[in-house]
Structure 1
């Protein structure tokens, strides 16, 4: 990867929750995701939002989650962290589909 492993990395999750999941359950899952920033040291920031595009090119994805890390090593540590693994095992079965992309802002 250009620029080596150091430097800010954004971890993006695009998600579509399964039909029939109550909004309260989605809200709770999002709160748990947001709390990871307090539990997993390499995770420096977290933001999320719902799709509001007027282009209708979202391919069914309804939610965007963005986590910020200081390095690719931080992302790797986050992915392997037991708290993240436990949360992922709770979240992913609730998703109809998802896409994850990591990038280094230029």
Structure 2
């Protein structure tokens, strides 16, 4: 399995309503695709202050790298990126085999 992890800092002018909309849109896309058996998102709650300003987290789990790669070029993912990318101040993507 592949875990596709995104750590995000949204731009300061992005509202909570906009963030909620993006989170819900990504959740809907993830749940509509059989290639994503698990999806989670949330905000940082660590008291260690080691998040480097990245305070939102998204985790998409795929069966394998092939399924992850298909998702990356999926029209729904591409459409969501067009909305999501202008809102992002910084992002780190980290994929791991589990």
1:36 deviation in Å?
1.2
Equivalent in 31, 34, 41 of residue 48 of structure 1? 41
Deviations for 1:57-102, whole angstroms, at most 9, x for unmatched residues? Answer: 1000010100010000000000010111110111011000001011
**Higher Cα Rg: structure 1 or 2?**
1
SS in 1 for 2:37: strand
Equivalents in 1 of 2:76, 2:33: separation in Å? 7
Task: Give the TM-score normalised by the residue count of structure 1.
Answer: 0.88
Residue 41 of structure 1: how far off its partner (Å): 3.0
TM-score by length of 2: 0.95
**What RMSD in Å do the two structures reach over aligned CA positions?**
0.9
Structure 2 segments unaligned to the other structure (5+ residues): none
Supply the distance in 2 between the matched residues of 1:101 and 1:12 (Cα, whole angstroms).
Answer: 5
**Conserved in 1, the CA contact under 8 Å of 2:31 and 2:39?**
no
The number of residue pairs the alignment matches comes to 98
Q: 2:22 aligns with which of 29, 36, 54?
A: 29
8 Å Cα contact 2:8-2:57 kept in structure 1: yes
Question: Does 2:84 align with 1:91?
Answer: yes
Name structure 1 gaps, 5 residues minimum.
1-7
